[in-house]
Structure 1
Amino acid sequence: MTKLQTILTATSAMCCVTAAHATELEVTHWWTSGGEAAAVSELAKAFDGKTEHTWKDGAIAGSGNTARPVMISRITGGDPMAATQFNHGRQAEELVEAGLMRDLTEIAEAEGWKDIVNPPSLLDACTLDGKIYCAPVNIHSWQWLWLSDAAYKTAGVPVPTNWSEFVAAAPALTEAGLVPLAMGQQGWQQKGAFDVMMIALLPSDVYLKVYDEKDAEAAAGPDVAKIFQAADQARAMAANSNVQDWNQATNMLITGKAGGQIMGDWAQGEFAVAGQVAGKDYHCLPGLGEKNVLTTGGDAFYFPVLDDADKTAAQGELAALMLSPEVQVAFNLKKGSLPVRGDVDLSAANDCMKKGLEVLNNAETLPGGDQLITQDTTRQIEDLMVEFFADTSLTAEAAQERFAEIIADAE
């Protein structure tokens, strides 16, 4: 019996039927930029081509902050989709605890996920009370500084190789009429950049004390004060970055209007769609070029409990397919992320993906913030960062004091 047959047998047994008929599965996600759409199409193409079923795309425009409340409302309101994207971590924890998400343990065991998912923390983030509730599909890391070769050529300065050089080059870009740092005016982007600076510019134990141990004293201490000073520099460099969405900020680099962007590795998808080549048209610095470190967050799919036997069986096929070697390669090459499988061929990876693989395999990795703090705490920090980047009268010292108060109340 093949693994897929084993999965079908298991899912059929659970829903009291003997076989799955062709059906349509609605899959919701927030992947709507050019690069993201190209990546998700690989998942849909594989599902439509390798099973008897059909992928119904349920893309929700906007960021995860826009999409997640819609997804949660549908699930809790009795109108669940067949599968939905969340980030690795605690975003779906309450839905799982309420019994609204399907237990994938039998599928995971049949497919040997514990043997192939690397790092194991990704599968751990899908696990609650010993049961697996999601299928991790990629490793996304935030710790990247993307750099536009065209912008630095216009400014007449070399492409920076670390954060210190990036800050030092900012006046030359400003004088040339360019924006030193492209950043969308949304809290999740600003908090993401803040967290990147904390990880890249400080010893890693500070980040873990703040977000894992919820140490308010560390959050109020001199190390984190340095990061608020760096964030103050960042908001000055991003003062004329008048865009909202992250991919609009990436496009400022692609068009040579901005020097750099702190953004996760999903930015690579936008460069790829624009036909730009890593190492030639743009450069990338993991850990801001200061430290070889990446967080191992990313995306996973959860499968709400359904009362339709055929759709339930088809869910099992989709979950298994998402972690198959060929789908892992095709999807992640388009997405700019790294595969969750450590046994796939990535010889077609570009220079930046190879840098990420090198860090993943030989340097330091840390859990992403979504794996350590609740969504409520995340939103509070995002709201603080929106205010900080918009209002220069809010000093770094005052912002740090409020940050420490948030951490003190965090769960």
Structure 2
Amino acid sequence: MTRRICMKISKLLLGASLALGLSMAAQAAQVEVLHWWTSGGEARSVAELKKMLEAKGHEWKDFAVAGGGGESAMTVLKSRVVSGNPPAAAQIKGPSIQEWGDEGVLADLDSVANAEGWDKLLPGVVADVMKYQGKYVAVPVNVHRVNWLWANPAVFKKAGATVPTTWDEFFVAADKIKAAGMTAVAHGGQPWQDATMFESVVLGVGGADFYKKAFVELDPKVLNSATMIKALKTFHKIKGYTDAGSPGRDWNLATAMVINGEAGMQFMGDWAKGEFTAAGKVPGIDYICIAAPDTEGDFTFNIDSFVMFDLDDKELQKGQNDLASIILSPAFQEIFNLNKGSIPVRLNMPMDKFDGCAKLSAIDFVNTAETNTLVPSMAHGMSTFPATQGAIYDTITEFYNSDSMTAETAAKKLVKAVAAAK
């Protein structure tokens, strides 16, 4: 073989090698993901999601925006979309998905959803939130139950009280704890915490159908009904069992009061469990998780989800589909929710590795999906648009902090506030 032929072969091999490299580079989509999971178990879960996506041959580009419970992230996202440079995926939840759908910027995920049978994997009420005009545009990550009551059994024992399952039992127990010199209810006086407690009261007093008419349908007759007035009175009565340090307190500090035996109970979603776990507490022994009074057969849900933006790049589209598939996969559902303290959104997932509170939540999630008592959380942006949610927040917090406003007046204000926000 001559020197010239050898050189030609070398050039051909080099060219083929470069072409192969360029081809492989073209196939590796850089999937930019906007989220606000930046601490603790959330950050560990994001790392797992990145690892799983990269195993599919794609590149993960992290677009983390911390702070504000997602408000800061949404501000940044809007500017990116307006400038015509959206990320491949973004963490968006609840009715906001519909708002983005109206803008015509979301990708259709039906090819993945149909191939993997999402309609059978998800409760109908959850699937509906993830769809725009009948097509999947978002994929759910997890389920937080909001209507929990957290209790310290040592406080109850000291007070000679029983953990309540009804509102009548609740006030009996609260009186005993208060008489024993302890705070009955640990609460953080912030609008979202007021709303979290209030929606559990409404659910317990009125039931799931009433709740849906009030906070999903926003029926003015229901918002200003005898049942709503009763719920408002019950809600305001709870204030008498909180402590003087309640106004402005962060939720985790309220949870710490229950953990440390300073308070008997707290109304909060299952993210509170992370505080008990971090403190080395064991469910069923050191603390009790139970549905809020009179809501045992109901479930208010808060769900994190991701939308994909409509992009022209075919490899990016494949990356988006793969990301959606991974998020709803049994492996990621288990890893993420063990870290987050929530439960898998897939129905009938194995729960062997989860604690007692999560197992109870999963059972109730399945049962309430079947009985149509699985309802979206108003307080956590799942049932209404942000403007309406804010109007309810303002009215509820004003009433809760007033010693002169009547429940009847608050109900009328609620109707006006919701109407003005539409």
TM-score for the superposition, normalised by structure 2? 0.82
Give the Cα separation in 2 of the matches to 1:32 and 1:255: 27
Aligned equivalent of 1:25: 32
Identity of aligned residues (%): 35
* C-alpha RMSD of the superposition: 2.9
Given that 2:207 and 2:295 are in contact with CA atoms closer than 8 Å, whether structure 1 keeps it comes out as: no
Give the Cα separation in 2 of the matches to 1:410 and 1:98: 20
- After superposing on structure 2, the runs of 4+ consecutive aligned residues of structure 1 that deviate more than 6 Å are none
Give the Cα separation in 2 of the matches to 1:233 and 1:64: 32
Aligned equivalent of 2:282: 277
Give the Cα separation in 2 of the matches to 1:155 and 1:57: 50
Aligned equivalent of 2:137: 133
Deviation larger for 122-131 or 78-87: 78-87
Gaps of 5+ in 1: 1-16
Aligned equivalent of 1:196: 200
1:136 Cα offset (Å): 1.0
Given that 1:35 and 1:272 are in contact with CA atoms closer than 8 Å, whether structure 2 keeps it comes out as: no
Aligned equivalent of 1:317: 322
1:276 Cα offset (Å): 1.9
1:322 Cα offset (Å): 0.3
Which residue of the other structure, out of 173, 178, 189, is the alignment partner of 1:169? Answer: 173
Deviation larger for 90-99 or 63-72: 63-72
Which residue of the other structure, out of 396, 399, 404, is the alignment partner of 1:388? Answer: 399
Structure 1, residues 354-401: CA drift from partner, whole Å, max 9, x if none? 222222233442331345432211111012223233333333332222
Closer, same or farther in 2 for the Cα pair 1:40/1:292, shift >3 Å? farther
Aligned equivalent of 2:13: none
Aligned equivalent of 2:104: 99
Closer, same or farther in 2 for the Cα pair 1:289/1:215, shift >3 Å? closer
Give the Cα separation in 1 of the matches to 2:103 and 2:248: 39
Given that 1:143 and 1:200 are in contact with CA atoms closer than 8 Å, whether structure 2 keeps it comes out as: no
Give the Cα separation in 2 of the matches to 1:256 and 1:50: 48
Closer, same or farther in 2 for the Cα pair 1:54/1:128, shift >3 Å? closer
Q: Map residues 8-407 of structure 1 onto 2, 5 A cutoff.
A: 20-21=27-28, 23=30, 25-29=32-36, 31=37, 34-48=40-54, 51-54=57-60, 56=62, 58-65=64-71, 67-87=73-93, 89-117=94-122, 119-153=123-157, 155=159, 157-240=161-244, 241-306=246-311, 310-363=315-368, 364=371, 365-368=373-376, 369=378, 370-407=381-418
Deviation larger for 242-251 or 41-50: 41-50
Gaps of 5+ in 2: 1-23
Give the Cα separation in 2 of the matches to 1:77 and 1:392: 49
Q: Of the two, which has the highest radius of gyration?
A: 2
1:49 Cα offset (Å): 5.4
1:341 Cα offset (Å): 1.4
Q: Per the alignment, in what secondary structure is the counterpart of residue 283 of structure 2?
A: coil
1:85 Cα offset (Å): 1.8
Closer, same or farther in 2 for the Cα pair 1:358/1:397, shift >3 Å? same
Given that 1:243 and 1:249 are in contact with CA atoms closer than 8 Å, whether structure 2 keeps it comes out as: no
Q: Per the alignment, in what secondary structure is the counterpart of residue 169 of structure 1?
A: helix
Structure 1, residues 8-62: CA drift from partner, whole Å, max 9, x if none? xxxxxxxxx9953153533312x45645445545434544556543352614223
